[in-house]
Structure 1
Amino acid sequence: MKRLSAGLLVFLAVMMASFNGPALAQAFREPAKGSAERAAILDTLRPAVEAEMRGPVEFVVTIIRASPNWAFVQVEPQRPGGGLIDPEETGFAGESDMMDGLTVYGLMSFQSGRWNLIDHMVGPTDVGYAVWQQRYGVPPAILGLE
């Protein structure tokens, strides 16, 4: 009887994990266009990107995911009004042939009542942000790596 009980417990634990896994993996939201939260997340990333792009930028958002403690974005920077950014006129001059465009990936954490930039990268040729899961303890679902 004890073997049956132990086996039943293991079976139930596996079943609960399989049912709860996908639900837990989706524990993020996509802040709506025009929302204060979305603006705050993007404004946290903006100063670092503007420094690298050597001028003002606005973002075309490809991905934005947020949880209570983390935010992850994939954005395309452009000049205000939609102007293209010439990589040779940025901090990446001479390196753009080794980059995959100017796509920006950013990771923010929510601490002390505000969003804080943790890390970002511009134009990686692989999934460079995958290390953020282990390095910073960010949930894989936020990064789209579940």
Structure 2
Amino acid sequence: MCPFTRLLAIAALASLWLAGACLAQPFREPVKGSAERAAILDAIRPAVEAEMRDPVEFVVTTMRAAPNWAFMQVEPQRPGGGTIDPGQTGLRDEADMMDGLTVFALVSFQSGRWNLVDHVVGPTDVAYAGWPLRYGVPPALLGLEQ
């Protein structure tokens, strides 16, 4: 085999390996309706309900879980799908500086349950970018490039 052909074969194998590595995510999305998904959402519910000043349910945009971590982006709404008026929440003074009520949250699995680690409501930037350094969460779980 000539050196050029050998180089092409090595490059082809490397690209197949890289493609497989990119597809092999270190996280999963908990199944809608599963007990795990409900437990993860219930971990953030008290903090979000305190800020919204009423019960909420969540529309999940993103949820990624690893064995001991879960990250999510959710849209809170009133039970039954009602819209939340930011002016009627505990965030009313910040509402004009927020980008809606989107919640980004990080939870960890400890002592047999999911626990809220941190969350942010309505950020105008990537407010969770520092969480890998602060909490040791894998950047890939947050969708951050390493």
Would you say same fold, with TM above 0.5?
A: yes
CA distance in 2 between partners of 1:93 and 1:39 (Å): 28
Q: Could you say which residue in structure 2 is the equivalent of 1:110? A: 109
CA distance in 2 between partners of 1:94 and 1:106 (Å): 21
Q: Could you say which residue in structure 2 is the equivalent of 1:47? A: 46
Which letter does structure 1 place at the counterpart of 2:26?
Answer: A
Q: CA RMSD in A?
A: 1.8
1:138 aligns with 2:120: no
Say which structure is richer in helix: 1
Q: Mind listing any 5+ residue stretches in structure 1 that lack a counterpart?
A: 1-14
Residues 87-114 of structure 1, C-alpha deviations (whole Å, 9 max, x = no match): 0110111221100000000000011111
Which letter does structure 2 place at the counterpart of 1:92?
Answer: L
Residue 40 of structure 1 deviates from its aligned partner by 0.2
CA distance in 2 between partners of 1:37 and 1:65 (Å): 12
TM-score (norm 1): 0.84
Q: Could you say which residue in structure 2 is the equivalent of 1:78? A: 77
Structure 1 runs of 4+ aligned residues shifted over 3 Å read 18-21
1:32-71 equivalent positions in 2, closer than 5 A: 32-71=31-70
Q: Mind listing any 5+ residue stretches in structure 2 that lack a counterpart?
A: 1-13
CA distance in 2 between partners of 1:123 and 1:89 (Å): 15
SS in 1 for 2:107: strand
Residue 23 of structure 1 deviates from its aligned partner by 5.4
Q: Could you say which residue in structure 2 is the equivalent of 1:7? A: none
Q: Could you say which residue in structure 2 is the equivalent of 1:22? A: 22
Which letter does structure 1 place at the counterpart of 2:82?
Answer: G
Residue 65 of structure 1 deviates from its aligned partner by 0.3
Residue 21 of structure 1 deviates from its aligned partner by 5.0
CA distance in 2 between partners of 1:129 and 1:21 (Å): 25
Which letter does structure 2 place at the counterpart of 1:71?
Answer: A
TM-score (norm 2): 0.84
